[in-house]
Chains A and B, each alone.
Chain A
Amino acid sequence: MEQLTHFIGGFAVALEPINLWYAFLGCVMGTIVGVLPGLGPAAGMALLIPATFGMEPASAIIMLAGLYYGAQYGGSTTSILINTPGEASSVMTTLDGFQMAKAGRAGAALAVAAIGSFIAGTISVILLSLLAVPLSRFALTIGPAEYFALLLFSMASVTSLTGSSLPKAAFAVAIGLIIATVGIDLQSGTSRFTGSVPELQDGVGFIVAAVGLFAVSEVFVTLEQMFAGKTELIGLKGSLWLTRDEWRRARMPILRGSFIGFFKGILPGGGATIATILSYSLEKGLSKEPEKFGTGMIEGVAGPEAANNAAATGAFVPLLALGLPGSASTAILLGAFMIYGVQPGPGLLAKNPELVWGLIDSMYIGNVMLFILNLPLIMLFVRILYVPIGIMMPLILVVAGIGVYSLNESVLELFLALGFGVLGYLMRKLSIPIPPLVLSIVLGGLLEKSFRQSLTISGGDLGILVGSPIAVILLLLSVFVFCIPFIPKRRRNTTEVVAK
Chain B
Amino acid sequence: MPKLVEKSRLFIAAFGFVLAVVYAIAASRLSVPAFSDPVGPRMFPYALAIALCVASVLLIGEHFVLERRRRGAAPEAADEGDGVTRVAIVALALLTAYYVIFDFLGFLVSTALFLIAFLSFSNRGQWKTNIIVAVLFPLGIYLLLDRLFGARLPAGIFEFG
- Number of interface residues, chain B, beta carbon within 8 A: 71
A402 engages B81 (CB within 8 Å): no
The B contact surface, by secondary structure, is helix
Given contacts A391-B123, A430-B12, contact A227 B58 (CB under 8 A): no
Among listed A269-277, A288-296, A414-422, interface-contacting one: A414-422
The residues of A that contact B152 with a CB separation of less than 8 Å are: 406, 409
Tally of A-B Cβ pairs under 8 angstroms: 191
Q: How far is the CA of A459 from the CA of B38 in the complex (A)?
A: 7
The residues of B that contact A415 with a CB separation of less than 8 Å are: 99
B145 engages A223 (CB within 8 Å): no
B36 engages A223 (CB within 8 Å): no
A192 engages B45 (CB within 8 Å): yes
- Of the candidates A168, A193, A220, A411, the one whose C-beta lies within 8 Å of that of B102 is A411
The A contact surface, by secondary structure, is helix
Given contacts A225-B81, A227-B87, contact A167 B36 (CB under 8 A): no
User: In the assembled complex, how far is the CB of residue A412 from the closest CB belonging to chain B, in whole angstroms?
Assistant: 10
Q: Beta-carbon contacts of B119-158 to A below 8 Å, as 1s and 0s?
A: 1001110100110010001100100010001011110000
- Number of interface residues, chain A, beta carbon within 8 A: 65
Among listed A11-19, A169-177, A354-362, interface-contacting one: A169-177
A221 engages B55 (CB within 8 Å): no
Q: Beta-carbon contacts of A246-261 to B below 8 Å, as 1s and 0s?
A: 0000000000000000
Please give the residue numbers on chain B whose beta carbons come within 8 Å of chain A beta carbons, in ascending order.
5, 8-9, 11-12, 16, 19, 23, 26-27, 30-33, 36-41, 44-45, 48, 51-52, 54-56, 58-59, 61-62, 78-81, 83-85, 87-88, 91-92, 95-96, 98-99, 102-103, 107, 111, 114-115, 118-119, 122-124, 126, 129-130, 133, 137-138, 141, 145, 149, 151-154
Q: Top 9 nearest A-B pairs by Cβ distance?
A: A460-B38, A390-B123, A167-B58, A390-B122, A394-B118, A170-B55, A188-B36, A174-B52, A428-B80
Q: List 25 A-B contacts (CB under 8 A).
A: A51-B149, A167-B9, A171-B16, A171-B52, A171-B55, A174-B16, A174-B52, A178-B19, A178-B52, A220-B87, A221-B80, A221-B81, A224-B81, A224-B88, A390-B122, A402-B107, A402-B145, A406-B145, A414-B99, A422-B92, A425-B84, A429-B83, A431-B8, A431-B79, A452-B39
